[in-house]
Amino acid sequence: MKMDSKKLKKELESRLAAEGRVIIYDREKDQLRIENEAAGKGITVSLPGIVAKWHSEKEKAIDEVVYYVEEGLRAMTDKVQLTDHEKKIFPVIRSASFPAEAEEGVPFLTDQHTAETKIYYAVDMGKTYRLIDSRIMEKEGWEQSRIREIAMFNVRSLSTSVKEDNVAGNIFYFLNTNDGYDASRILNKGFLNEMERKMKGTMVIAVPHQDVLIIADIQNNTGYDILAQMAMSFFASGRVPITALSFLYEKGELEPIFILGKNKK
C-alpha cells in the first residue's frame, strides 16, 4: 500500500471525527485543522511530514498523530489551574522557531535558552500538558518569577537514570523515560555537572526531540560524526522535534556546534 496526502486526509478525518468537532482541509498548504467548535480552538497538522514518516513507521505514524490531536484538544478544553498544582509545573524545551504565542495571540511565558532553543513552561495534565500563557497567569495572579522558580525546582526532582552505549571508542548516554520532559533535563545543572565529572573526553549534548536527551563523551573525531547522525535521525522521527544541532558543555555553559559529517558509513 502506498500512502499519500489524499489517503492520509481520509484516514485522519475518519479517526478524528466526533460530535462538536470541525475538520478543515487547507489544500494550498496541505494541512488538516481539527477544531473544538465550542471552544473555537484547534490543532493543525501538516500532512506531507506525516506521509514521509508513514513510509518508515507505517500505522504507528498515524496513531501518534491521532493521540497528539486527541490529547491536545482535551488539554485545550480542560481548565488549567496553577494554585494547588505546583508539583505539576515543569519547564519544556522547544526550538527557537516554535510559536511565541497561542493561536488567539496570547503570549506564552518563555525564556531564552540557547541560540537554537527556548524554554517554555507547562502544567502537567496527565497524558499531556498545557503551555502556560499570560492569560493563565493573570487569571490566577501568578508572577512569572514564581512559575520559573517552581518549574526549575520540579525538573531537578525528575529521575536522571541513563542507558549507556559504547561506539567506536566513544560513550553515549541516553535519557529516555517518555514522561514528556526528557529534553527538559538539560536544565538540571546538577545532573549535567555530575555527568561532566564522568567524562574522559569532550562532553557534548543533544536534544533532538522532547522525548530524548543524549550526552556524549567524545573521545575521537568519529564520535562527533556518530552523534551528528544520531541527532539527525532522532530529530526526523520525534513527535516534537527540537534541534538536530548539538551543544558543547563546558564550565556550566552550552554552546551550539555544527558537526560536518565526514564518514558516510
User: For the residues of 175-240, what is the DSSP string, one character each?
Assistant: E---SS-TGGGGG-HHHHHHHHTT-SSEEEEE-SBTT-EEEEEE-SHHHHHHHHHHHHHHHHH-SS
pLDDT surpassing 50 at residue 170:
yes
Instruction: Tell me the domain boundaries of the chain.
Output: 5-77, 86-155, 163-257
Instruction: Name the grid cell of 95.
Output: 526550538
Alpha helices in the chain (DSSP H): 5-16, 47-57, 59-77, 134-140, 144-155, 189-196, 221-237
Global confidence as pTM: 0.78
Spatial distance between the Cα atoms of 3 and 11, rounded to a whole number of angstroms? 10
Neighbours of 167 (CB within 10 A): 13
Between 67 and 21, whose confidence is greater?
21
Pairing of strands 21-26, 170-175: unpaired
- Residue range 177-199: mean pLDDT, rounded: 96
Question: For residue range 224-251, what is the model confidence (pLDDT) as tens digits?
Answer: 999 999 999 999 887 788 999 999 999 8
Question: For residue range 19-62, what is the model confidence (pLDDT) as tens digits?
Answer: 889 999 999 999 999 988 877 778 888 898 888 888 877 888 88
Angle 220-226-232 from CA coordinates, rounded to 5° = 145
Comparing C-alpha atoms, which of 129, 206, 146 is closest to residue 173?
206
What is the overall mean pLDDT for the chain? 89
Name beta bridge partners: 89: 123
**Residue 261: per-residue pLDDT:** 52
Question: For residue range 207-219, what is the model confidence (pLDDT) as tens digits?
Answer: 999 999 999 999 9
Spatial distance between the Cα atoms of 225 and 167, rounded to a whole number of angstroms? 11
Between 71 and 197, whose confidence is greater?
197
**Residue 264: per-residue pLDDT:** 41
Question: For residue range 71-87, what is the model confidence (pLDDT) as tens digits?
Answer: 777 766 667 889 999 99
Spatial distance between the Cα atoms of 29 and 139, rounded to a whole number of angstroms? 35
Question: For residue range 87-140, what is the model confidence (pLDDT) as tens digits?
Answer: 999 999 999 988 888 766 789 999 999 999 999 999 998 877 889 999 899 988
Name beta bridge partners: 129: 124
pLDDT range class, residue 12, cuts 50, 70, 90:
very high
**Residue 69: per-residue pLDDT:** 83
- Among 6-10, 12-16, 26-30, 35-39, whose mean pLDDT is lowest? 35-39
